[in-house]
Amino acid sequence: MSPLLDLDRGWGLLRAALPETILSVWAMLLLLDAAWHHKEPGAQRRTGVLALAGLAVTAAAVVWLWASGARIAGIPTSLAVDPFRFAVDLIVLLAAALAIVFSLDYLEREEIRIPEYHVLVLFAAIGMMLLAAGEDLFVLFLGLELMSVSVYVLSGIDRRSKVGGEAALKYFLLGAFASAFFLYGIALLYGATGSTRLPMIAAQIGPLQLVHHPMLLAGLALLLVGFGFKVAAVPFHMWTPDVYDGAPTPVTGFMSTAVKAAAFGALVRVLLEAFGTSDMHVVWAPVVWWLAAVTMVVGNLIALAQRSLKRMLAYSSIAHAGYLLTALVAGTTAGAAAFLFYLLFYTLMTVGAFAILALKGRGGERDVLIDDLAGLAESHPWLALGLTVCMLSLLGFPGTAGFIGKWYILVSATGGGYTVLAAILVVTSVISAGYYLPVVMAMYMKPQSHERAHAGVLVPHLSGVTLAVMVAALLVFGLWPNKVLDAARAGSHAFLPASVNTISAPVPVAN
C-alpha cells in the first residue's frame, strides 16, 4: 500500500521534503568546507565532485519517493507529493549535474577559482525543487527567490568580466521587479479567496463566484507576469540575450534549462490546480495562447539575424519557451505529459549545445560566430556530430527526441482544439531551420579558415563521455520513446480529477 503522508505532523512533512532536506544539509556543509579550503589547489574541482555526489543522493531520494507511491493524506497544504513533482525534480537535478560536470574543467581553463560556484548551483536547485513542489503560493515565492538569488550570483561569478557584471546587475534589477509583480499577485489572490494554498483557491472560486472578480483576475495576471519573466516569454524576455551572453557558458546552459524547468513546473501546477476548472480555463487560456504565439514568432525571427552562436542559442531558448507554453494552453493532462517529455530532452540538447560551445571558445564565448565552426568536422568529427544532433533535435528533425517532443505537443494542442497555435508551432519550427542548419553546414561544408583554427579545442574525458551519453539519448529516444512517454504520462496523472481529494474528505491516519 502506498504510504500516506500527513504534512501536519513532523515525520510526514520530513518525508515529503526529504529530497530538499538532503540537498539543503549537503549544500550547507559543502559551503563550510569550500570556505575552509577556499585557497587550496584543486578546491574547486573537489567541491564540484562532492556537489555531484549530493545531487546523486538527492536524486535517489526522489526516485525512492516516486517508486514507493508516496502521496498526501487529505488536502495538500504546503508541498505536493505526486509524480509531476518528482519528474520535474529529476529534470532539475539532471540539469544541475550537467552544469557542474561541464564546469569542472571550464572554470580551471578560465581561471575562475571559486569553489562556492558549485554550492550556488546546489542552492539554486533547492529553490527549483521548491518551485516544483509548492502547493502554497508562499512556498513558490520562497523557491523562486532562493533560485533567483543563486542564479544572479552565478551569472556574474567571473568578477574580472565587465560584461558578466553587467549581466548579473541587469538580471538582478529586472528579476526584483518581476518578483514584486509575483508577490503583489499573491496578495491579491489572498484578498480574493482568503487563502494562498492552491487547492483552497480552487475550492473558493466556484462557491464565492470569483471567476470574473477583478481582484482574482488581477492577481492571476500579476502571477503570469512573474512567471513570464522567469520562463523568458515575450514580451518579458528582454533580459535574456544579454544575461545569457554575459554569463559563463555552463551557467547559461543551466539558466536556459533548469530555471525554465522549475518556473514552468510551478506555472503548470498553479494553472491546472488552482485555476484548472473549465470556467477559469476560458479566462487564462487566451492569454497563454497569445504568449505562446508571440514568443515562438519573435524568438525564431530574431534568432535568424544572429551571427554569434551564443546569442543565437539565447533567442532559440526564447522560442522553445513558446513551444512549452503551447503544451500548457489546453490545460489537460496530455499537455502536462507533453511538457514533461519535451522538457527532459530540451535540457539534454540545449546543455549539450552550450557545452560544445564552451569547448570551442574562450573568455565567455561571446565572440564565437557560426562561421568560426567552419571545418570543425575535419579536425573534431565526433564533436561536430554531437553538435549536429543537438541542432537537429532543437529543430525537431525526425529521428531525434526533439521531433517526438514537438509531435507530442502538437497532439496535445490539436486535441484541445488549438489548431491555429499548432500551425504556428509548425511554421516557426520550419523558420528555425534558417539558423540551426547553417551551424551544421559550417561544420561540414565549409573549409577551416586556417590549419590551426580548431587547435585549441580540447575535450576533457568526463565532458566527452557525458556528451556522448547525451547525444546517444537524443537518438535512441527519438526512435524508441515509449518508456519516457509512459513516465511523462505517469507524471501528468497528478492532475487527474480522480487524484484530487474533496475538501470535506476525512484525513486518513498517516504512517
Model confidence pLDDT, tens digit, residues 154-181: 988 888 878 888 888 888 888 888 899 9
> Which backbone phi and psi does 109 adopt, to 5 degrees?
-65, -40
pLDDT, residue 363, reads: 59
Cα–Cα dist 241/314, whole Å: 5
Give, in degrees to the nearest 5, the angle at Cα 135 between 131 and 139.
50
Largest CA distance in the chain: 74
Contacts of 290 (CB under 8 A, 6+ apart): none
Question: Quick one: cell of 491?
Answer: 507524471
Q: Hey, which bits of 52-121 come out as E strands?
A: 71-72
The answer to whether 82 touches 71, Cβ cutoff 8 Å, is yes
pTM: 0.91
pLDDT, residue 2, reads: 61
| Structure letter (DSSP) for residue 113 | -
Question: 314-353 burial, b if ≥16 CB within 10 A, otherwise e?
Answer: bbbbbbbbbbbbbbbbbbbbbbbbbbbbbbbbbbbbbbbb
Model confidence pLDDT, tens digit, residues 273-291: 888 887 888 889 999 999 9
Contacts of 350 (CB under 8 A, 6+ apart): 253, 256, 257, 313, 316, 317, 320, 390, 394
| Structure letter (DSSP) for residue 36 | H
Q: Is 112 left (phi over 0), alpha (psi -120 to 50) or beta?
A: beta
- Quickly tell me which residue has 539554486 as its cell: 124
Closest CA to 182 of 220, 231, 150: 220
Helix 137-155 vs helix 260-269: angle between axes, to the nearest 10 degrees?
A: 170
Cα–Cα dist 233/279, whole Å: 25
pLDDT, residue 497, reads: 59
Number of neighbouring beta carbons within 10 Å of residue 394: 28
**Would you give per-residue pLDDT tens digits along the chain (511 residues)?**
467 776 767 777 788 889 999 999 999 999 998 888 777 778 888 999 999 999 999 999 999 998 888 777 777 778 888 899 999 999 999 999 999 999 988 888 888 888 889 999 999 999 999 999 988 899 999 999 999 999 999 988 888 878 888 888 888 888 888 899 999 999 999 999 888 888 888 888 878 888 888 999 999 999 999 999 988 898 888 888 888 888 888 999 999 999 999 999 999 999 988 888 878 888 899 999 999 999 999 999 999 988 888 889 999 999 999 999 999 898 888 888 999 999 999 999 999 999 998 887 665 566 788 888 888 888 888 888 999 999 999 998 999 999 999 999 999 999 888 999 999 999 999 999 999 999 999 888 887 766 666 767 778 888 889 999 999 999 999 999 888 888 888 888 777 654 443 333 333 433 3
pLDDT, residue 502, reads: 35
Helix (H, G, I), strand (E, B) or coil at 207: coil
Name the CA radius of gyration of the chain, rounded. Answer: 22
Q: Is 1 exposed, middle or buried (0-12, 13-18, 19+ CB in 10 A)?
A: exposed
The answer to whether 195 touches 135, Cβ cutoff 8 Å, is no
Cα–Cα dist 388/88, whole Å: 27
pLDDT, residue 508, reads: 41
Cα–Cα dist 133/80, whole Å: 5
Give, in degrees to the nearest 5, the angle at Cα 99 between 96 and 102.
150
Cα–Cα dist 145/55, whole Å: 20
Helix, strand, coil share of the chain (percent; to 5) = 75, 0, 25
The β-bridge partners of 71 are: 4
Cis? peptide before 506, omega within 30° of 0 = no
Give, in degrees to the nearest 5, the angle at Cα 341 between 72 and 103.
95
